[in-house]
Structure 1
Amino acid sequence: MDEVRQDWLKEKGTQHVKEIAEHYGVFQHLFGDAYFFPRVPLDVAYDQGDDVFAPVCFGNQLKPKEVLKQPVIQFKSDPDTFWTLVLTNPDGHLTKENSEYVHWMIGNIPGSDVSKGDVIFDYLQPFPLKGVGYQRMVFVLYKQEKKLEFSQLKKSQPSLADRTFSTYEFYRDRQDVMTPAGLAFFQTDWDRSVTDFFHSTLGQEEPIYEYDFPEPFYERQTYFPKLEPFNIYLDKYRDPKDINRDYLVQRLAKENPFAKPKPKLRFPNAEPLPRDMPTWLQDKIKRDRLGWGRINEVEEYEGPPTDSLHANRGLM
């Protein structure tokens, strides 16, 4: 597989990575109208323990609990070159629209030894909020023309607000001395570790987003609804709380801790129903006998014996 990957990188890899990044809107949201070809393969992997690593590819999905600690970074370079690595989230800013959070930044990396670079921002785990869906976490590797000064960006103990970031402005101010060369990114969405992060690390309540569904629209009632069971038609215009209350009352009426439960009918629909009974009521009784629909909320229905299913099939 390594040989196949190397062949792919030599022939079409750079073009394919650029097209994938465009598909996910990475260039548009980080660099505006600009883009670049990732000439330097950037390998990123999160250690899961027991020699298991979760790789970062080009849009794969990783949970926050899998990316709690900084990953292992590998790329090939000459030992006398300098590099800058940035991990940013263009989707997760809590207060400013069209802004990013920088989750990790290391500058002046000599060769490919990330451990010897200048830590500008310590690693901060992703924290996608509950209810907002997936967020992109993007690694960008820049090649420096020389050793640079990043003291103006450093904070002794950066708050979340201090991590407000703009890739566009960061590169615009340094485009004469650095060039984007490598790219990798993954997608992540909420899990329980995000709650712990807000409470333990940030010391604040966790924001939660919920979708406010519109009220369902129903046409005005008619005297003679066609092709729809009468009871189901009327239930559409009732308060769901009233319907739930009816089912609860039915269930409580059947509860008797001192009586044995009635035996299940071997052939539930073998007993005929009165001919003058409305068809909607006949259908309801037949479905209740078979344990279909909400009757399961009234009684714990296990269904008829398997050898009786054939006998019931023709009675619906």
Structure 2
Amino acid sequence: MKLLLTYFFWFGLSVIAVQEGVRAEECLFEKMDDGDASFCSGGLEVFYPELGDVGCSYIPKCNQYWKRISKEWKSPHVRYQKADKKKQYVLLMVDPDAPSRADPKFCYWRHWLVTNIRGADLKRGKVRGHVLSDYIPPTPPPQSGYHRYQFQIYEQPTHEVISLSTEEKASPGSWKMEEFVDHFRLGAPVASTQFLTKSYKG
């Protein structure tokens, strides 16, 4: 009887070990290749629940992460530890692959736009400021493949009042991001990163 109990004990442990191994294999984060990875610079970090910093990586399909990032989780914590406490910053989040990377006719799709973010808050991962576009979670259309979701941080020029036009407010799609950046003299981003995910319905 004792021998039989010992057998089942070790058998149970081996099953758990195999299950844990499968789970770990399914949830491995895949990093971007050199082309997409080159967009990530300056040390910008983007944190979602359970995933940690998703910068320069593919969101794994396991544990319904594709669905949860689209339907459940609120805006991520965005941290830029090199931020100057005396300055203010602008955060952009866009999808350049709308409706698909092969046919991005609606790029850039604006997912989040916040101005007047204090450097001290940005260093702690707190995006507090003037929200020009509320956070819209990643929602790639079904069968459209992977979409890049890009985050960019700009130093906000002193005393610059940044706003969206009536036309820009009407729709976040086909946003002329470069014209916006040029108009308000934001210059080049001081930090940027991105992640890729797919539709959970696809």
Place the TM-score, normalised by the shorter chain, in its bin: 0.5 to 0.7
Structure showing the higher strand proportion among its residues: 2
TM-score by length of 1: 0.43
Cα displacement (A) at 1:55: 2.1
In structure 2, the residue matched to 1:66 is: 69
User: What is the alpha-carbon distance in structure 2 between the residues aligned to residue 139 and residue 70 of structure 1?
Assistant: 12
1:174 aligns with 2:172: no
**Secondary structure in 2 matching 1:24:** helix
Matching residue's letter, 1:140: Q
Question: What RMSD in Å do the two structures reach over aligned CA positions?
Answer: 3.1
Where do 5+ consecutive residues of structure 2 fail to align? 1-32, 61-65
Identify which of 94, 99, 116 aligns with 2:128. Answer: 116
Q: Counterparts of 1:64 and 1:115 in 2: how far apart (Å)?
A: 24
**CA distance change for structure 1 residues 102 and 162 in 2, over 3 Å: closer, same or farther?**
closer
| Cα distance in 2, alignment partners of residues 144 and 55 from structure 1 | 25
Instruction: List per-residue Cα deviations over 1:8-63 (Å, max 9, x = no partner).
Output: xxxxxxxxxxx94xx12986xxxxxxxxx83x31111012xxxx344222132252
- SS state of the match for residue 88, structure 1? strand
- TM-score when scaled to structure 2? 0.65
Whole-Å separation in 2 of the counterparts to 1:162 and 1:107? 16
For 1:108 and 1:147, the matched residues in 2 are separated by 10
* 1:150 equivalenced with 2:162 (yes/no): yes
Q: C-alpha separation between the residues in 2 aligned to 1:146 and 1:178?
A: 13
Aligned position for 2:143: 131
Aligned residues: 156
For 1:28-107, list aligned pairs within 5 A.
38=41, 40-47=42-49, 52-62=50-60, 63-67=66-70, 68-76=73-81, 77-93=83-99, 97=105, 99-107=107-115
Unaligned runs of 5+ in 1: 1-18, 28-36, 193-207, 209-316
Equivalent residue runs for 1:221-260 within 5 Å: none
Q: Compared with structure 1, are the counterparts of its residues 174 and 121 closer, same or farther at alpha carbon in structure 2 (3 Å cutoff)?
A: same
> What is the deviation of 1:98?
5.5
Percent identical pairs in the alignment equals 23
